[in-house]
Amino acid sequence: QEIENHTKMTEFILVGLSKHPPSQSVLFWALMFLYRVTLAGNSMSVFLVGANSQLHTPMHSFHGNLSLRDILFSTSAVPLVVVNSLQNFPTISCRSCFAQLAIRAFLARAECFLLAIMAYGRFVAISSPLGYNLVMSSRACILMALVAWTTAFLLTVMPILLFPISFCGHNAIDHFSCEVQATFKLLCPHTVSLEVAVMVCAVISRPVPLIFILTSYLGILRAVLRIHPITMRLKAFSACGSPLVVVAIYFGTLAYIYVTPQNKKSQDRDKIVSLFYAAVTPVLNPLIYTLRNEDVKAALRGVACR
């Protein structure tokens, strides 16, 4: 559907797998399964952290924040893709597309800041265990969580409020949903200021937290290497290994989507990686953070017995 320049656009066409009908049913059932597992695992994590007083600790509270974020992020993307996977060339209104873009950007940035805070908490716990309760007090954790969510919100809405958004040309988005790169290809040429503002906010919300995380883990590595009993050293490495896996998966996926050069083949791969980011990563977080934790296992057994 060709649209003249500066004509008001009312809806977008989501191409997705419309050119590959046999894959649509497979995608439908796979996403249905992953979404249900995401809701079950992360809802359980949020419930256990909120209901069990033994889990009212700094790290568990941030695990609860992360699980809540995973529920919201998966819900903002997966159900729409599930519904659209059964249609050929489904459409989405411009307002719904903008809302999905903003919500996903907000939640993605919130996770970056939450992961950075959690890395700092582990650094304090290993390098200065005696001062941990003072630095990571309940009041400080609540304040840091509020700062993370508020900063993510401001970095999301500021470019939208400061610069107008207008689209030119066709209205077909070559993706399953309103993904940033696929949607921004439809922007008019005079929206350079908006793209620059979005890029600045992306740098603040992604590379900066990543650098902070890597610096924290380098400090953790130095502190762990000073621990002389080998058993204690291995225990410390094991405690930090799982969070590093989450960081590697999360930022590795983002780097692949937004840093690798774009061509026709990479666009098709980006669709799969974007689905992995939206549907698979939220499933992994409760498995890595929650079910490997002995305190959480004990709380879960207590709930099951009652």
* Pair of tokens at residue 249: 């998966």
Q: Where are the beta strands (DSSP E) in the chain?
A: 11-14, 91-93, 172-173
* Cα 297 from Cα 301, distance rounded (Å): 6
For residue 280, tell me if it sits in a domain.
yes
Q: What is the pLDDT of residue 5?
A: 42
Q: Is 93 helix (H, G, I), strand (E, B) or coil?
A: strand
> Which residues, listed in sequence order, are joined to residue 13 by a DSSP beta bridge?
91, 172
Domain that holds residue 71: 11-305
Is residue 228 a part of any domain in this protein?
yes
Q: Do 237 and 229 contact (CB within 8 A), yes or no?
A: no
Please answer whether residues 224 and 231 qualify as being in contact, where contact means their C-beta atoms are separated by less than 8 angstroms. Answer: no
Q: Does 3 reside within a domain?
A: no
pTM (predicted TM-score): 0.86
What is d(CA 212, CA 113) in angstroms, rounded to the nearest whole number? 10
CA of residue 213 relative to chain centroid, distance:
15
Say if 198 falls within a structural domain: yes
For residue 240, being part of any structural domain is answered with yes
What's the number of domains the chain is made of?
Answer: 1
* DSSP-derived secondary structure letter, 18: T
Separation of alpha carbons 40 and 210, rounded Å:
29
79 within domain boundaries: yes
Of residues 65, 73, 207, the one with CA closest to residue 143: 65
Cα–Cα distance measured from residue 244 to residue 78, given in angstroms and rounded to the nearest whole number = 25
> Quick check: is 6 in a domain?
no
pLDDT tens for the chain, 306 residues long, are 333 444 456 788 887 765 666 677 788 888 899 999 999 989 988 888 888 878 888 888 888 899 999 999 999 888 888 888 777 778 888 888 888 888 988 999 999 999 999 999 989 988 888 888 888 888 899 999 999 999 999 999 888 777 667 677 678 887 878 887 777 777 776 667 777 887 888 888 888 999 999 999 999 888 888 877 777 777 777 777 778 888 888 888 887 777 766 655 566 677 778 888 888 888 888 887 766 677 777 777 777 777
Structure token pair of residue 207: 């590379």
Apex 48 CA angle, 213 and 58, nearest 5: 35
CATH number of the structural domain spanning residue 71: 1.20.1070.10
SS (H, E, C) 59-88: HHHHHHHHHHHHHHHHHHHHHHHHHHCCCC
Residue 297 lies in a domain: yes
Q: Can you give the pLDDT at residue 190?
A: 66
What does the alpha-carbon distance between residue 293 and residue 48 come to, in Å, rounded to a whole number?
12
Q: Could you tell me which of 182, 9, 8 has the C-alpha nearest to residue 93?
A: 9
Residue 298 has which token pair? 């004990």
